[in-house]
Amino acid sequence: MFDRLEDLVIRFEEVLSELGEPDVANDQARFRKLMKEQSDLAPIVETYRKYKEANQTIEDSLSMLEEESDPEMREMLKEELSGAKEDVSRLEHQLKILLLPKDPNDDKNVIVEIRAGAGGDEAALFAADIFRMYSHYAEANHWKIDTMNSNENGLGGFKEIIFMIDGQGAYSRLKYESGVHRVQRIPVTESGGRIHTSTITVAIMPEAEEVDVDLDLNDCKFDVFRASGNGGQCVNTTDSAVRLTHIPTGIVISCQDEKSQLKNKDKALKVLRSRLYELELEKKHDAEAEARKSQVGTGDRSEKIRTYNYPQGRVTDHRIKLTLHRLDSVMDGDIQEIIDSLTAADQAAKLANMNE
């Protein structure tokens, strides 16, 4: 591990040197590549520097303890030694995590698909609640949301909503959200006051660039139709909505949120590329079954991952057995604690897998 760290320090210095060259900004592609490499290497190099400083403190403290006879000074040196040993242990663990293979999709934007499952109108209303939860989380991170398509149920809920979250590292934060989300509450449509259980499914897909997917437009069939639902005076008057069918896979995508047929077509192609890219990722994951075991459920839409219990005001993530008794703040977008816990659990599983 330490040979690799020394190599990374050398590479970091080389990158800084290249960025300091007068003509580097003239080649924007090279400049962006170097800036990203610097950004990726900086946390590793900084943590390794602190690790070496803590080790040096241990050596110095041990050396001074051999020569020091004053009881008070010896006590101070022992405290310093104890603190440095704790730092070394903590920093070594951090370095192992930083050196874990990085998911190449972590820096990508995400396309999110939320669909009502069991529960009828109540499931659709909960789908809208979860959409608002992710919207508030995105806003808190200064990310942009762009709705690709939505299908409302007439009560303010969504039978389906597809949207993109545009932001640095969005996939790395939200990739563990895929799966079945379950709600337990008294629906507004329930007159008897009984608690109902409803479900929705969430799919998180990294946005696929054109270079990520070999998409032949000859395999795509486009149909246009008039949009329906809320959307202003242009709705129901022009054939602006687009239905895209990918013939080889049978995937069908409808987009009607834009007034422009061309914009709806572009959005449908973005969703298609991401779905095809996700299919490729699933094939890869299935081929690496052992590696899949070390992940905290990233992609299985049939896995029940979380329960939102309104009567008890709690949220439970079943994969890591985490329960938070602050449902209101979670539904308002405060989900960072859940995301951090899932990330830590995944990292711990991967480290354990490496050590087997």
For 254-276, the pLDDT digits (tens) are 888 788 888 889 899 999 999 89
Weakest mean pLDDT among 141-155, 211-225, 236-250 = 236-250
Average pLDDT over residues 237-265: 86
Give the pLDDT band (50/70/90) at residue 32. Answer: confident
User: Under CATH, what is the fold of the domain 110-349?
Assistant: Alpha-Beta Plaits (3.30.70)
pLDDT at 301: 54
- Residue 194 CB burial class (10 angstroms; 0-12, 13-18, ≥19): exposed
Where are the domains positioned within the chain? 2-98, 110-349
Query: pLDDT tens across 124-179, in order?
Result: 999 999 999 999 999 999 999 999 888 888 788 999 999 999 998 899 999 999 99
Q: Residue 115 pLDDT more than 70?
A: yes
Assess contact for 265 and 244: CB atoms under 8 A: yes
pLDDT at 185: 93
Query: pLDDT tens across 65-107, in order?
Result: 988 888 888 999 999 999 999 999 999 988 988 888 888 888 8
CA distances from 15 to 18, 19, 36, 65, 281 (A): 5, 6, 10, 41, 31
Compute the distance between CA of residue 204 and CA of residue 275 in angstroms, rounded to an integer: 10
Q: How confident is the prediction for the chain on average, in pLDDT? A: 86
Q: Are strands 241-246 and 251-255 parallel, antiparallel or unpaired?
A: antiparallel
Q: Which two tokens stand for residue 183?
A: 């709600």
The CATH class of the 2-98 domain is mainly alpha
pLDDT at 118: 87
Closest CA to 347 of 117, 176, 193: 176
CA torsion through residues 76, 82, 88, 93, sign = negative
**Which of the two residues, 50 and 234, has the higher pLDDT score?**
50
Assess contact for 277 and 108: CB atoms under 8 A: no
pLDDT at 295: 47
Closest CA to 154 of 254, 233, 241, 230: 230
pLDDT at 224: 87
Query: pLDDT tens across 266-310, in order?
Result: 899 999 999 898 888 877 766 555 444 444 554 445 679 999 999
Give the pLDDT band (50/70/90) at residue 54. Answer: very high
pLDDT at 292: 42
Percent of all residues in the chain with a pLDDT value above 70, rounded to a whole number: 91
